[in-house]
Amino acid sequence: MTTIRELPEHLTNQIAAGEVIERPSSVVKELVENAIDAKSTQIDIWIEEAGLKKIKVSDNGQGIYPDEVSLAFERHATSKIYSQEDLFRIHTLGFRGEALPSIASVAKVTVETATESLPGKMLRIDGGTIVEEKTYGTRKGTSITVESLFFNTPARLKYIRTLQTELSNITDIINRISLSHPQISVRLYHDNNPLLRTSGNGDLKQTVAGVYGTKVARKMMTIQAENLDFQISGLVTMPEVTRASRNYLTIILNGRYIRNFQLQNAIVDGFGSRLMVGRFPIAVVTIETDPLLLDVNVHPSKKEVRISKEKELTGLIMEAIQSALKDKPFIPSGLENL
């Protein structure tokens, strides 16, 4: 006969980490999203060996109060929602209070953080256990360093692909997040080589130039449309500048980069016969809506979001693209591949 027992916390955190922290890029995503929620204007990301050796994210955001730093590593501890009402009106990227405890349960983590008014704090956690804690003089903001990722979960480590694949996952997620927040300057380094730098001056076209290059940015047209529920803005390439995959379609919903096949299709459909089969534009489509129309709480990593009135939204995206294309000459796609 077996007996029922409640699992110890370090185990429940590792189980949650299985969902939230799949690979190095998941750590990067969660840390950068926290930096954005903390209202940072500068975020620096240093990666070593595709994140397996080291991931460090530094921001100039509001910081964590010294007596709350260890609480931030408790499961379901968050400063972002307090009530059920808040859950239906999510305006931050995080809210589940799962990322930090999950990361800390599968890696060695160092936090250095300070708020505007109080002395800063440094905390070191190894595999979920606090090993050092001290007052730390630092400027306002937070730096989180994650080392030896998956050192205590050999199965997860085995599942990691080549360093090249992991690094390209990281650059992909950072590119999308940078495009989602043109008002934040983002810098990414891998083994000390600069991979990305955005200006943070709020201009989407300049951010696109930082991510995809100035040639592509120059070939983009502005899109704009709205109805009572949704406001759409953004940039899409002219039909002569295309790519062979959908990977360059970025959809941003209330500041969150999301994956949504229907909305991606709406972009492509907006181009109609101007695209050759198998060719896709480069696009950044930003959608603002009332958070009440969204259910963000369907997937632990929140890449998928349920949208009420999705049909209406796809129609509006198509319209936005069609009207931007109206005065453009008809050039068959695929002629130029910048």
The residue count for binding Mg ion (CB under 5 A) is 3
Residue 317 interacts, among Mg ion, ligand ADP, none and using kind-specific CB cut-offs from 5 to 8 Å, with none
Q: Does 99 bind Mg ion (CB under 5 A)?
A: yes
The dihedral through the CA atoms of 326, 329, 236, 242 has a sign that is positive
User: Residues 227 to 256: which contact Mg ion by CB under 5 A?
Assistant: none
Q: How far is the CB of 191 from ligand ADP (least distance, A)?
A: 23
Paired tokens of 287: 């959608």
Choices 99-107, 201-209, 237-245, 293-301 (CB under 5 A): range interacting with Mg ion: 99-107
Q: Which of 151, 223, 157 is nearest to 22 (CA)?
A: 157
Q: How far is the CB of 90 from Mg ion (least distance, A)?
A: 12
Residue with token string 């804690």: 133
Paired tokens of 86: 């808040």
Q: Does 64 bind Mg ion (CB under 5 A)?
A: no
Distance CA 56, CA 146 (A): 6
CB 140 within 8 A of CB 114: yes
Residue 184 interacts, among ligand ADP, Mg ion, none and using kind-specific CB cut-offs from 5 to 8 Å, with none
Distance CA 179, CA 256 (A): 10
Distance CA 293, CA 295 (A): 7
Q: How far is the CB of 250 from ligand ADP (least distance, A)?
A: 22
CB 324 within 8 A of CB 223: yes
Total residue count of the chain as it appears in this document: 338
Q: How far is the CB of 122 from ligand ADP (least distance, A)?
A: 14
Q: How far is the CB of 254 from ligand ADP (least distance, A)?
A: 16
Q: How far is the CB of 34 from Mg ion (least distance, A)?
A: 4
Residue 44 interacts, among Mg ion, ligand ADP, none and using kind-specific CB cut-offs from 5 to 8 Å, with none
The dihedral through the CA atoms of 272, 274, 278, 282 has a sign that is negative
Nearer Cβ to ligand ADP, position 68 or 319?
A: 68
Q: Which of 160, 214, 173, 149 is nearest to 45 (CA)?
A: 173
Question: Taking phi first (over 0 means left), then psi (-120 to 50 degrees means alpha), and beta for anything else, what does residue 102 get?
Answer: alpha
Nearer Cβ to Mg ion, position 103 or 284?
A: 103
Paired tokens of 234: 């953004």
CA distances from 121 to 137, 140, 233 (A): 7, 11, 41
Q: How far is the CB of 154 from ligand ADP (least distance, A)?
A: 24
Q: Contact with Mg ion (CB under 5 A): which of 14, 25, 26, 34?
A: 34
Residue 95 interacts, among ligand ADP, Mg ion, none and using kind-specific CB cut-offs from 5 to 8 Å, with ligand ADP
Residue 79 interacts, among Mg ion, ligand ADP, none and using kind-specific CB cut-offs from 5 to 8 Å, with ligand ADP
Given the rule CB under 6 A, which residues bind ligand ADP? Answer: 30, 34-35, 38, 59, 61-64, 72, 78-80, 94-100, 142
Residue 325 interacts, among Mg ion, ligand ADP, none and using kind-specific CB cut-offs from 5 to 8 Å, with none
Q: Does 62 bind Mg ion (CB under 5 A)?
A: no
CB 320 within 8 A of CB 227: no
Q: Which of 145, 122, 124, 125 is nearest to 135 (CA)?
A: 122
Name the closest residue to ligand ADP (Cβ).
94
Q: How far is the CB of 120 from Mg ion (least distance, A)?
A: 20
Binding site for Mg ion (CB under 5 A): 34, 94, 99
